[in-house]
Chains A and B, each alone.
Chain A
Amino acid sequence: MSIEVRIPTILRTYTGGEKAVEGSGATLAELIDDIEGRHSGLRARLVDEKGLRRFVNVYLNDEDVRFLGGLETAVKDGDSVTVLPAVAGG
């Protein structure tokens, strides 16, 4: 068992074109670290020194992790994480 992470089109350059990758960890931060080990460069597109990037949305199952615990959100085997860049502008 592991945690599925769905990757948006623009970040698939880091996953060899794969729409989803798998990883493990007890928190979202650990999961991202785990995936970074196989898909180098991905982490920097998701987080900066302050935490999750403002214009990247990460969902645990159907919930935006900003309304859960951010990077400290607990994750478990069988969960599905979806990454979507915000659609935003000025």
Chain B
Amino acid sequence: MLQLDRSTYDAMVAHARRDHPDEACGVVAGPVGSDRPERFVPMLNAARSPTFYEFDSSDLLRLYREMDDRDEEPVVIYHSHTATEAYPSTTDVALAMEPGAHYVLVSTRSPETVDLRSFRIVDGEVSEEEVRVVPLLQSETGPHPGPTQTEESAPR
């Protein structure tokens, strides 16, 4: 299961819409081992393509150095599909190199409907997981003190 706070969810969708018809991409970093996507980092698609994405190589080095310095890892790696469903392509699977990450796909083929799904991609095997959008991520030490009844499932 991937838990995302509302603002991160909205930011990923907005980035995908903004870059349409090209694919958008980025990460949401979080403390190592926490599984908490806390820091939204939109990246430039160096390929500037409607069918491919690739982080710019200098940006990639800077991003990983920065995460290293902050004891973070890429909890979420996201990108958009502009004409197809939010499901990993053969290329996505072949190039997935972060077995610990949640791979989030956003489809922008419909201007009205939000299609955001999350997957694990490990050794070429794709498994979909539930996405839960919450107002705020729960604190690491226990349940958030605020009301939790407002949790909602992500629209598909």
Contacts and interface: CB of A to CB of B under 8 A. Distances in A.
A87 B54 contact: yes
Given A89-B88, A90-B52, A84 B95 contact: no
Query: Dominant SS at the B interface?
Result: mixed
Interface residues of B, number: 29
A86 interface: yes
B54 A88 contact: yes
A86 B97 CA distance: 8
B61 A86 contact: no
Contact of B92 (A55, A64, A90): A90
Nearest to B92: A89
Given A9-B100, A90-B90, A57 B53 contact: no
B77 A87 contact: yes
Contact of B97 (A62, A64, A85): A85
A38 interface: no
Nearest to A19: B68
A3 to B, nearest CB: 17
A68 to B, nearest CB: 12
Contacts of B92: 89-90
Interface string B41-55: 001000100011111
A34 to B, nearest CB: 23
B113 interface: no
B80 to A, nearest CB: 10
Given A8-B97, A9-B98, A10-B97, A90 B60 contact: no
Nearest to B47: A88
A26 to B, nearest CB: 23
A13 to B, nearest CB: 10
Nearest to A86: B54
Nearest to B96: A89
B40 to A, nearest CB: 15
A82 interface: yes
Given A57-B57, A59-B61, A84-B61, A89 B79 contact: yes
A64 B54 contact: no
Interface of A: 8-10, 55, 57, 59, 62, 64, 66, 82, 84-90
Given A9-B98, A82-B61, A86-B55, 20 more contacts: A8-B97, A9-B73, A10-B98, A55-B95, A57-B60, A59-B57, A59-B61, A84-B60, A84-B61, A84-B64, A85-B98, A86-B95, A87-B77, A87-B97, A88-B91, A89-B79, A89-B95, A90-B51, A90-B53, A90-B90
